[in-house]
Structure 1
Amino acid sequence: MNPRQITVLGECVADAFAQPSGTSNELALRVQPGGGPANTAVALARLGTPARFLARLSDDVFGRLFRAHLEASGVDLSDAVPAAEPSTLAVAELDALGQAAFSFHAQNTADWQWTAEELARVDLSDTACLHTGSLALVREPGGAVVEDFLAAAAPGATISIDPNVRPLLVRPDVYRARLAHWCGLADVLRLSEDDLELLLPDTSPERACDLWHATGVRLVVITRGAAGALASLDGVRIEVPATQTRVVDTVGAGDSFTAGLLHHLGARGLLGGRLTGLRLDDVAEACAFGARVAALTCSVAGPNPPWQEQLKRSEAVGAV
Structure 2
Amino acid sequence: MSPHQITVLGECVADAFAEPASAANELALRVLPGGGPANTAVALARLGTPARFLARLSGDVFGRLFRSHLEASGVDLSYAVTADEPSTLAVADLDADGQATFSFHSQDTADWQWTPEELARVDLSETACLHTGSLALVREPGGTVVEGFLAAAAPQATISIDPNVRPLLVHPDVYRGRLTHWCGLADILRLSGDDLELLLPGTPLDRACDTWHAAGVRLVVITLGAEGALASLDGERLRIPAVPTQVADTVAAGDSFTAGLLHHLDARGHLGGRLARLDLADVAEACRFGAQVSALTCSVTGPNPPWRNQLAEPATAGRP
TM-score strictly above 0.5? yes
Contact 2:3-2:272 at 8 Å conserved across structures: no
In structure 2, what is the Cα distance between the partners aligned to 1:22 and 1:244?
36
Q: CA deviation at 1:249?
A: 0.2
Q: What corresponds to 1:44 in structure 2?
A: 44
1:130 aligns with 2:127: no
Point out 4+ residue stretches in structure 1 off by more than 3 angstroms.
Answer: none
**Identity among equivalent pairs (%):** 81
Contact 1:160-1:187 at 8 Å conserved across structures: yes
What TM-score comes out, normalization by structure 1 length? 0.97
Q: CA deviation at 1:23?
A: 1.2
Q: CA deviation at 1:3?
A: 7.9
1:53 aligns with 2:61: no
Q: Write the deviation string for residues 283-310 of structure 1: whole angstroms up to 9, x where unpaired.
A: 0000000000000000000000000011
Q: Write the deviation string for residues 206-238 of structure 1: whole angstroms up to 9, x where unpaired.
A: 100000000000000000000000000000100
One-letter code of the match for 2:264? H
How do 1:144-293 residues align onto structure 2 when only pairs under 5 Å count? 144-293=144-293
How do 1:69-80 residues align onto structure 2 when only pairs under 5 Å count? 69-80=69-80
One-letter code of the match for 1:8? V
Contact 1:2-1:267 at 8 Å conserved across structures: no
Q: CA deviation at 1:196?
A: 0.1
Secondary structure (helix, strand or coil) at the match of 1:53 reads: strand
One-letter code of the match for 2:286? A
Q: Write the deviation string for residues 230-255 of structure 1: whole angstroms up to 9, x where unpaired.
A: 00000010000000000000000000
Contact 2:3-2:127 at 8 Å conserved across structures: no
How do 1:98-109 residues align onto structure 2 when only pairs under 5 Å count? 98-109=98-109
Q: What corresponds to 1:114 in structure 2?
A: 114
In structure 2, what is the Cα distance between the partners aligned to 1:161 and 1:270?
16
In structure 2, what is the Cα distance between the partners aligned to 1:147 and 1:84?
23
Secondary structure (helix, strand or coil) at the match of 1:29 reads: strand
In structure 2, what is the Cα distance between the partners aligned to 1:4 and 1:135?
26
In structure 2, what is the Cα distance between the partners aligned to 1:2 and 1:96?
47
Gaps of 5+ in 1: 314-320
Contact 1:19-1:30 at 8 Å conserved across structures: yes
Q: What corresponds to 1:90 in structure 2?
A: 90
**Is the alpha carbon distance of 1:2 and 1:264 closer, same or farther for their aligned partners in structure 2, counting shifts above 3 Å?**
farther
RMSD: 1.2
Gaps of 5+ in 2: 314-320
Number of corresponding residues: 313
What TM-score comes out, normalization by structure 2 length? 0.97
Q: Write the deviation string for residues 85-134 of structure 1: whole angstroms up to 9, x where unpaired.
A: 00000000100000000000000000000000000000000000000000
Q: CA deviation at 1:2?
A: 10
Contact 1:243-1:292 at 8 Å conserved across structures: yes
In structure 1, what is the Cα distance between the partners aligned to 2:125 and 2:5?
10
One-letter code of the match for 2:177? A
